[in-house]
Amino acid sequence: MSIQQIIKGEGQWPVYIWTDECDEKSKQQLTNVAQLPFINHHIAAMPDVHVGRGATIGSVIATTQAIIPAAVGVDLGCGMIACRLSLNANDIDEQSILKIYNQIHRDVPVGRNQHQSDRALTDIALPFEAELKVIIHKHPKLRKAFRNFDNWIYQMGTLGGGNHFIEICLDEAQHVWVMLHSGSRGIGNAIGTYFIERAKKDMLKWDVHLPDTDLAYLQEGSVNFDDYIEAVDWAQRYAYQNRQAMLDLVLAGMHRHLQIPFTVTREVVNCHHNYVAREHHFGVDSWVTRKGAIRAGIGEMGIIPGSMGAKSYIVRGKGNPDSFCSCAHGAGRKMSRTEARHVFTVEDLKQQTAGVQCKKDNSVLDEIPGAYKDIDTVMANQDDLVEVVHTLKQIITIKG
């Protein structure tokens, strides 16, 4: 399929939507962004689009000479990593699945937990320290925005909570994959939140009135803009390295409990889906913010996960210019976490995650597959954006 809805109000930029299931609140947020003067050509809403802070999750916004921090998000650099192993389903029995599940829980801190004293992981984090000190020196209030600020070093190689996860999967040929979803942890969140507030102060100073205050922007050429670009770049690189560090921990845990040796047999795919990048679209150099979307240029590999218990996909981009060479980042929520807890029970969770080694209690009820859009529908709506290379199904899921 292709673009299914186009919204175009008077004096507004067009909004291209890759689904016919875009709710009214999401449409309003997209329309709000479409009123801003510095948009390049149009706004693209992916088939997993849903309400976010200021801008929808699942939106791609190309801008000239300005960036909206809330359109990038606060989990800066959040994204996915995946790799295929030289193992197949016959190499992992029920006993080893349970051992690997427990080992990953021991090796990778989840939720608010962090590493205590892992020299190898802190050595990975330390090269980021000098750059971070420069950022903090320019913005000392940023330190106050983040409790126990120095803990960012010990959060390298940690998962976090919410919809972040680690999974062991099987593809259509029964090959084993490792896939995980995480970002820049507490420090990235602090940076994102801090600069959203800086942008709001700029709007007050310049007497700019917006349809939503969370659409406050930083103007290119300003000190805050330059500092934001520097800080976001730091957080995105930290998030990228964090995923690689966790992947290494997972692979080490698997080596410990599997009797046969194995290797990574397909190049690791490591991609952001909450980030900003400088790109050229429709003849203009732009700042492209993808908030819950991945880049899908011609031949570029990406990861589109479903919910726990559902299918996930390894994809290859088609480079569709109308989407700014982008695609969906996952299934996308169809109900809030609070609503999910009211609608579903733990028994529902057990039924919807049958065959998957994972938590099946109230602590992850808000992540039940039924709270998410149907991943097959999402994929069908974007077959002009990506082609499916592999289809994955979880056998182990670990959440914060």
Q: What is the CATH number of the domain that holds 157?
A: 3.90.1860.10
State mean pLDDT over 55-67.
Answer: 97
Does residue 180 fall inside a structural domain?
yes
- Across the range 135-151, mean pLDDT stands at 79
Mean pLDDT confidence for 63-79:
96
Calpha distance 257→69 (Å, rounded): 44
Q: Is residue 262 part of a domain?
A: yes
Dihedral sign, Cα of residue 295, residue 400, residue 160, residue 336: positive
Question: At residue 118, does pLDDT exceed 90?
Answer: no
Q: What is the pLDDT of residue 149?
A: 61
CB of 376 closer than 8 Å to CB of 149: no
Question: Does residue 391 form part of some domain?
Answer: yes
329 is annotated as an active-site residue: yes
Mean pLDDT computed over 102-115: 92
Among 50, 175, 272, 329, the one annotated catalytic: 329
Domain for residue 19, yes or no? yes
In whole angstroms, give the CA distance from residue 95 to residue 128.
Answer: 40
Residue 360 within a domain: no
Taking residues 135-154, report their average pLDDT: 80
- Least Cα distance to 283 among 40, 43, 8, 66 occurs for 40
- Does residue 219 sit within a domain? yes
DSSP 220: T
The CA distance from 81 to 254, in Å, is 17
State the residue range of the domain holding 43. Answer: 5-334+372-399
Examine residue 74 and state whether it is found in any structural domain, yes or no. yes
Percent of all residues in the chain with a pLDDT value above 70, rounded to a whole number? 98
User: What domain count does the chain have?
Assistant: 1
Q: Give residue 317's pLDDT.
A: 98
Query: What integer pLDDT is reported at residue 259 of this predicted model?
Result: 85
- Which string of b and e fits 63-74 if b means at least 16 CB within 10 Å? beebbbbbbbbb
Query: Is 345 part of any domain?
Result: no
Instruction: Evaluate if residue 302 carries a pLDDT over 80.
Output: yes
